[in-house]
Chains A and B, each alone.
Chain A
Amino acid sequence: MEVLSYLINGFGVALQWYNLVFAFIGVLIGTMVGVLPGIGPMSGVALLIPVTAMLTAGLDPEAAATSGIILLAGVYYGAMYGGSTTSILINTPGESSSVVTTLDGYQMAKQGRAGIALAIAAIGSFVAGIVALVALVFLAQPLSEIALLFGPPEYFSLMILGLCAVTGLAGRSMTKALIMTTVGLLLATVGMDHVSGVVRFAYDIPYLYQGFEFLTIAVGLFALGEVFRAVVEKDGPSSAQFRIGRIMPTRNDLRKSFPAMLRGSLIGFFVGLLPGAGASIASFFSYVAEKKISKTPERFGKGAIEGVASPEAANNAAAGGAMVPLLTLGIPGSGTTAILMGALMMYNIQPGPLLFDEHPQLVWGLIASMFIGNIMLLILNLPFIKFFAKIIETPIHYLLPMILAISIFGVYAVQLTTFDLWVLLICGVAGYVFVRHDYPIAPLVLGLVLGPMIENNLRRALTASNGDFLVFVERPLSITFLLAALLWLVLPFVLRVIRKKSSGSS
């Protein structure tokens, strides 16, 4: 029971008073981020990286990284909790992953059962968080041991798979998503080459020798981009007309929703494991599954409590599932985990199979703190639902300028140059323009994070094989990953053809 002793050590780390505080701050801010429409988990986490860096500045490096990642992960799964609140109350999903919750959640709110819907969403998220963590505990170590057998070609192919998976599911046009991925990878090549020390594409601008700072790009594209969108499109939160009503669900509600939560958790976790799939897809799948197995599918869309319980459980479990490839393989499967990975790398910690050996304190501390964070969220959410509902009413003309000021402060505090602020500003405008025209930005950020690692492994593999590209095809694991990557890219086309045929015949 080696795992258990590691886990107990992890709780020792997570229960240190300052880590409890960090987890609490994380889930609290996360819930707010989730509640506020317009700031998604990605911009929330990106915005908080510099704040976290300064909060943890006094600790020794490993403890600082542990506390930092505990806070940021708290924001991530806290946002999953909070996202449901606006879906239910004002029919406006705070995140894309709670889009499905609007279907039945808002109907419940209209029937005066908003409180119960919110409570079920919170309980569902809690159950899912715990299920995902138990699975994470038992899956993470074996997976990372398998990953230790990988050589450079396997890593290269696996990362290509990760990129293709995210690209294949992002946005409407795969060409655009692929372009964004490539641009991300190209941006990553600017600056000093890690293998040979040659400076590339810097054009004698000293700031560029270190390459583009990941944080600057991420905050610019996500946070500033969203603020600009809200400013141009006057996209303020609609005024809330709601009555929360009774909060505690009845025994009958619980009996109906509990199996749905468990099913949602399992679906969510396994979808979350897949690179690229993520929480939105997970919640969508689980809703469809719930409707399929229900004896009374006609109730769905009219305030069925399972229609809230299952997708809410699924999107939270997916957040847990997405941590698995990040921690064990060092490959982020979604935009948010890519940003978490960027944060780890800022602390000089390389996620991947060696993480469990080199930084057991960090990994198990993080896992244990996710248990604790989930309990905090449940306690936080049930009594304070009414308080969080009030956040929706924050006037947008104060909120947006403050987000801008926080972005600028965050980037400047870490970089201490105005050069990065200009990059930030340009990225903000670019982020808005890209999103407006359906160019997804998550693949760009993923490319930026993975770029140096992909290049390293590519070059190590090619150096070992003396420039022979066949090395990626000859090794069985590597070719499997590459074929899977190809499948991700081809599958949507196949599905489209099938859908066209079936819609043509019906």
Chain B
Amino acid sequence: MNLSNETKNRFLDMGENNIALATKLFVDRESFPVTAGTADIVLPDYIVDIRRVTLLGKKMYPQGFRSYQENFYVGRGNGYPFNYIFNNVGVRTIKLYPTPEFSVPQVTNVWDADIATGFIIEYSRTPGMANYGTGNSWGSTLWGTSNSPNQQNFQLPEYYRRRLLKQFLAFKVATIEGNSQSSRMSEYFRQKWAASSTDFYNFINKLHNGSRKLVIKSPAGIRPMPGRPVLPVGKFGYSVDEGF
């Protein structure tokens, strides 16, 4: 089987990207400057999904583009932005609503000290795919580490990477034209890849997504249930609804 390292690395990139998109496990944060009077901010391409946005430490809430178009077609004034609209088709952008009437500088300590003073986006991102398809993929050796420290932070963990991506590599190698092609072997490893991926998703969900519930088993009971407003009787009188 004569397979170049370039091809192997391309398949490893591909497998890692599939896992990253399915689990959204590579999480990072960045701060972006906010300019008064400007609603749109261009984001890097490697952002797949937004998990949390905070402005001056307060959570902003996501809004669909259709909702934005239909409900807020008038009166798009400036103010304190409470909502954001994420456009992940083509060029990634985020639109703040209402348009901010003040500026916020970019900050650096996005995990601690500067949360209260910055505009911070926490997002899921792709792995180090910057060189994908250029013949210079980042996996410098078959099971080696990344060349770039930044990309190295966004690899599958060492304790899972080799044995998981090995299935994908074998599956893809058996599908390409040449001496290594074997449809039976390809099908065998495709099924093994599917089973291994499912194991990995379960592992991530169990350990890193859900709350543990070992010390307290019952749900927290914290739900967004706004109370019904109670109007003062002396001011508004009695209701004439059914029952009165």
Determine if chain A interacts with chain B.
no
Chain B residues proximal to chain A, CB less than 8 Å: none
Residues of chain A having any CB pair with chain B under 8 Å: none
